Amino acid sequence: MIDKFLNIFKIPELRSKLIFTLSLLIVYRLGGHIPIPGIDKVALAEVMQGFSNSLLGLYDMFAGGFFSQASIFALGIMPYISASIIIQLLGAVVPYFQRLQKEGELGRKKIIQLTRYGTVIIASLQSIGVAVFLSSFDSPTIVTNPGFYFYFVTIITLVTGVVFVMWLGEQISDNGIGNGISLIIMVGILSRLPHVITSRIKGYNDGLLDNPFEDIFLLALMFGITYIVVTITTGTRKIPVQYAKRVIGRKVYGGQSTHIPLKILTAGVMPIIFAQALMFIPNTLASFFDQNAGVGKFLVTVFAPTHIVYSIVFAFLIIIFTYFYTAIAFNPVDVADNMKKQGGFIPGVRPGKNTADYIDNILTKVTLPASIFLALIAIFPTFLSNYGGVDFTLASFFGGTSLLIIVGVALDTLQQIESHLLVRHYDGFLKSGKIKGRRRF
């Protein structure tokens, strides 16, 4: 294994990509410790401690702990993800966006530009909500001098922070290894691990915790879920394909049998990230109201992570986004057309539309259990907290959305590193050049 790690640094291109990626991630983590001006850190820590098991606590985990610190990166990358969701949804129903999606590189650049504009708008709205939220506390007082100056500086600072984090993610995706946006979220979640471990150790030392079997159970649960996630994520449904023989001169081309490796979970972790981004919207709306009465209280109560309504809506969104993102990532019509042009066909299925329908039917069937699996794992911490007596923050870290994102993003990044190693004729970073656990369904 050590030799395989060393092989990474023997390839100049891969080495530079890794160093570039790690450098930008370090910049993100260091920059996140710069606070918004005019904040009392002691009062802020006291207030945020009471929101650890709420949706704000979950948002803080996705923001790498920067929201609870009122950092310049407090909003994280979620506004960009929300804007991406909106643009992609518009691409499914609005003709203008549909045309952009079909215009190739030029259309892609226009979509990216519109996504950036949407990010700024969403970040501006959320920053106003954050400013109102921070100013709403009188005892203890978080904002030392509330007023126009504080609102103005906070909004400008938070929006600029979101734009900078968005830029970091795009640079990693273009010039580094892995998906930059996903890596930023994963690093933010992993940054909470030392805090979770130290808090558990401190609890045992202070006599507040006396049941080590709970931690053993959570660790076993984490490894079990990780194994299942890897198996589902890397599992494929092989569709047999036969290519007709072609005689050109004295040479015979084609005639071989192959297969289409249709992934069980084509969408990866993006449905979870997208669904989680939408689940933060009620909390953003609640920040504009009095959270102790009326609409504000309703939104905070019903959309708390431990509420059954939150779990139902979250699971439904994950299933919907799994199908939606699968439709974006894999187009059966294009696959069928390419097969027809190259003389390929699926035995027993006519080329063209029938082949596209056949592939689409199989894709729909294999996506359903995968989407339900993602939804169940994502809402599992809620049931573990409500009926198992486990702290929600701890349960969500070891067995929920955070673990799904960590495993999914890590697999995607390792697969990209794997491809670089195999192209240069080095042993794969993963065992035997393939991910263990790959199955045919």
List, as one string, the DSSP characters of 219-283: HHHHHHHHHHHHHHHH-EEEEEEEE--EEETTEEE---EEEEEEETTTTTTHHHHHHHHHHTHHH
Q: Which of 195, 374, 379 is nearest to 269 (CA)?
A: 374
How does residue 436 score in pLDDT terms, banded at 50, 70 and 90? very low
Q: Where is average pLDDT lowest: 224-238, 305-319, 419-433? A: 419-433
Q: Would the pLDDT of 159 be above 90?
A: yes
pLDDT at 250 over 70: no
Tally Cβ neighbours within 10 Å of residue 275: 24
The CATH number given to 20-191 is 1.10.3370.10
pLDDT score of 156: 92
- Most confident range, picked from 26-40, 196-210, 216-230, 257-271: 26-40
- Predicted confidence (pLDDT) per residue in 349-399, tens digit: 888 888 888 888 888 888 888 888 888 888 888 877 777 767 776 777 666
Which of 196-200, 351-355, 432-436 bottoms out in mean pLDDT, i.e. has the lowest? 432-436
The pLDDT value given to residue 164: 93
With a cut of 90, say whether residue 160 has pLDDT above it: yes
Average pLDDT estimate for 241-253: 67
Whether 440 shows a pLDDT value over 50: the answer reads no
Say if residue 286's pLDDT is above 80. Answer: no
Calculate the CA 404 to chain-centre distance.
Answer: 8
pLDDT of 428 over the 60 cut: no
Tens digit of pLDDT for each residue in 317-353?
889 888 888 887 788 888 888 877 777 778 888 888 8
pLDDT band at 253 (very low <50, low <70, confident <90, very high): low
Q: Quickly state the pLDDT bin for 425 (edges 50, 70, 90).
A: low
Return the percentage of the chain with pLDDT > 90, whole number.
6
Pick left, alpha or beta for residue 207 (phi over 0 → left; psi -120 to 50 → alpha; otherwise beta).
Answer: left
Q: What is the pLDDT of residue 10?
A: 74
Q: Which of 50-54, 86-90, 155-159, 286-290 has the highest mean pLDDT?
A: 155-159
Q: Please, where in the chain does CATH 1.10.3370.10 lie?
A: 20-191, 212-441
Q: Find out whether 363 and 330 touch, Cβ atoms under 8 Å.
A: yes
Q: State yes or no: pLDDT of 290 exceeds 70.
A: no
Split at pLDDT 50, 70, 90, the class of 131 is: confident
Q: Match domain 212-441 to its CATH number in 3.40.50.980, 3.40.1000.10, 3.40.50.300, 1.10.3370.10.
A: 1.10.3370.10
Average pLDDT, the chain: 79
SS3 at position 176? coil
Grade residue 4 by pLDDT with cuts at 50, 70 and 90: low
Burial degree of 68 (CB within 10 A; 0-12, 13-18, 19+):
buried
Question: Is a pLDDT exceeding 50 seen at residue 435?
Answer: no
Query: Which residues, in sequence order, are bridge partners of residue 236?
Result: 263, 440
